[in-house]
A and B are shown apart, each in its own frame.
Chain A
Amino acid sequence: GAGVSQSPRYKVAKRGQDVALRCDPISGHVSLFWYQQALGQGPEFLTYFQNEAQLDKSGLPSDRFFAERPEGSVSTLKIQRTQQEDSAVYLCASSPGQGLGYTFGSGTRLTVV
């Protein structure tokens, strides 16, 4: 597609509920990143894929967070048993590689109540 598409745009979850956030990267982009942005802060790295391989997941805050990209294209970030501190905007970015051409999606704003 023309850009990075994320869905849903907004998500309200009750505490303890599981959520799944979707990212459709730009076609052909091999690198895909997830970031978490709390209110008033800069984005913080969560995890990174190159094609279907998850090369770095060191930013995932707990084992409740899980990401996958099974066919090297669409990626899903899953959060189990959501807690209030998970409330944030979750940003996805893709890149053709070599650190160039980062393109971010508009994000999913998750609110846990």
Chain B
Amino acid sequence: GIQVEQSPPDLILQEGANSTLRCNFSDSVNNLQWFHQNPWGQLINLFYIPSGTKQNGRLSATTVATERYSLLYISSSQTTDSGVYFCAVPADRGSTLGRLYFGRGTQLTVWP
């Protein structure tokens, strides 16, 4: 299956700092999603970004499909940004349906 690697595994920031999370994947994909898992375990979809750049408030994401990586940018981090960030790609690169392969995540802790 497709390998998904995320870095760094852990990130500790002070409130207000900026950060970049990276996701590398081993094969071409036509779909990539970023999720945030909050401390209560809820997985929230942040971005659906097969290519290009999207922004949503203090968060933005860029996927360079030809080079098989995606970046998630968090600006002016807040304590509520704490949690685990996952990227996920579909198992079937010819489809946007079906199972997803997740990375192991980046554990982000933001201190006040």
List residues of A whose CB falls within 8 A of some B CB. 31, 33, 40-45, 48, 55-56, 59, 89, 91, 93, 97-104, 106-107, 109
**Interface centre among B33, B35, B43, B48, by most A CB within 10 Å?**
B43
Nearest CB in chain B: distance from A45 CB, A: 4
Q: A31 and B97: CB pair below 8 A?
A: yes
The answer to whether B68 has its CB under 8 Å from any CB of chain A is: no
13 additional A-B residue pairs with CB within 8 Å, beyond A33-B100, A98-B97, A104-B44: A42-B102, A42-B104, A42-B105, A44-B102, A45-B91, A45-B101, A48-B99, A55-B98, A56-B98, A98-B96, A101-B45, A103-B45, A104-B43
Is B90 part of the contact surface with A, judged by Cβ < 8 Å? yes
Minimal Cβ-Cβ distance residue in A for B97: A99
Given A42-B104, A99-B97: A106 and B41 interface contact (C-beta under 8 Å): yes
B63-90, CB under 8 A of A: which get 1 and which 0? 0000000000000000000000010101
**Assembled-state Cα–Cα distance A48/B35 (Å):** 19
Judging by beta carbons under 8 Å apart, are B43 and A43 in contact? yes
Q: Is the CB of B45 within 8 A of A45?
A: no
Q: How many Å from the CB of A104 to the closest CB on chain B?
A: 4
Chain B, Cβ-Cβ closest to A55: B98
* B18 interfacial contact with A, CB 8 Å: no
A102 touches B33 (CB 8 A): yes
Contact A102 B103 (CB under 8 A): no
- Whether B41 and A89, one on each chain, are in contact in the complex, defined by CB atoms closer than 8 angstroms, is yes
Given A42-B86, A100-B48: A91 and B96 interface contact (C-beta under 8 Å): no
Chain B residues with Cβ below 8 Å from A102 are: 33, 45, 100
